[in-house]
Amino acid sequence: MKVYHEANSLIPEIRIETVPGPKGNPLREESPAWTIGLPLGIPTIQFADSLSRRKRIEAVAHELGHLLLVYRYGLGVIGRGIPRYGNSDDVFRYFMSMGGDWEYLLG
């Protein structure tokens, strides 16, 4: 709750939603929680409904940490899909497409 109140003091509205788990969605298989809506100024933390209560709390706290880095310290977030594991061409394109903007926080 302390992390939530700290983030909420910087961000007027933080939404937290339960959504269907990552099954069948290759973009969500790596993480049970994620944050959307940052460019709109309405950050929404979503987490998989399959998580236990303990894991839900941990996942939301982790995403709140990301929001604190963005809103308190001004780090940017870029919305790039993580390259496929073991595919060196994807990894190369991923890093080369950043255009030298190494100040961004990569999700």
Structure confidence at residue 25 (pLDDT): 52
pTM for the complete prediction?
Answer: 0.64
Judged against a pLDDT cut of 50, whether residue 6 lies above it is answered with: yes
Residue 42: pLDDT band (50, 70, 90) is confident
Percent above pLDDT 70 for the chain: 69
pLDDT tens sequence across 44-96: 999 999 899 999 999 999 999 988 888 888 776 555 566 667 777 777 776 66
Residue 88 has a pLDDT of: 77
Angle between helix axes 2-10 and 53-71 (nearest 10 degrees) is: 30
Domains of the chain: 1-75 (3.30.2010), 76-107 (no CATH)
DSSP notation for 15-35: EEEEE--STT-TTTSS-SEEE
CA distance 29 to 38: 21
